[in-house]
Amino acid sequence: MHNPEHPYKIIVMGGSAGSFSVVSGILSKLNPNFKIPILLSLHRLKHVRSGLSEGLSLNSKIKVLEPNDKEKIEPNRVYLAPSNYHMFIEIDGSIALSTEESHNHSRPSIDYTLMSAAYVYREKALGILLTGANKDGAKGLKSIADHRGYTIVQDPVTCDIDTMPKSALQLFCPDEILSPTEIVQFLNSLQP
């Protein structure tokens, strides 16, 4: 179980195919006063600029927004990587957006967001990898583990497409393998 001596300062959740309904379900069941900022890196259509954040906002008890470049990360917020942008965390706790080349055929790249969280927050980072159809996110989640952060992989049997979580499981052993319901219970246990 997580170490209460090291409360997490950031949560990065990544997913691809099938992840919208999982993320929507998680956000709908989180405590409304959940303070730890959540960064979402979800594979999405490049040329569809809106709809995803609005869809997630419908059931979320926490404000969901697409950040601007250099926006400071605030508590009790969910930051969704904008369409066709990589989302990084800067050392000063702000968000950097980039249009660098696609990584694993994806922009935003889950790996990039997770790796930047690992670098900035080290053992205070919590990474969660959800259902998806490619390997993006596996190396990034391992980077969180390598920096002594906490790692959760969605149980492949609960995934629409299990390529993404299985890719992580082939690389390393995460701290937890949980169903979406168990992920919600875990997150809500992090604070009173």
Q: Which of 136, 143, 147, 175 is catalytic?
A: 136
What is the spatial distance between Cα 59 and Cα 25, in angstroms, rounded to a whole number?
8
Asked if 109 is an active-site residue, the reply is no
Q: Which of 43, 83, 86, 109 is catalytic?
A: 43
Asked if 43 is an active-site residue, the reply is yes
Asked if 16 is an active-site residue, the reply is yes
- Per-position DSSP letters for the chain, written without gaps between them: ---TTS--SEEEEEE-TTHHHHHHHHHHHS-TT--S-EEEEE---TT--SSHHHHHHHH-SSEEEPPPTTPBP-SSEEEEPPTT-EEEE-TTSBEEEE-PPPBTTBSS-HHHHHHHHHHHHGGGEEEEE--BSSSTTHHHHHHHHHTT-EEEEE-GGG-SSBHHHHHHHHH---SEEE-HHHHHHHHHTT--
Please give the positions annotated as active site. 16, 43, 136
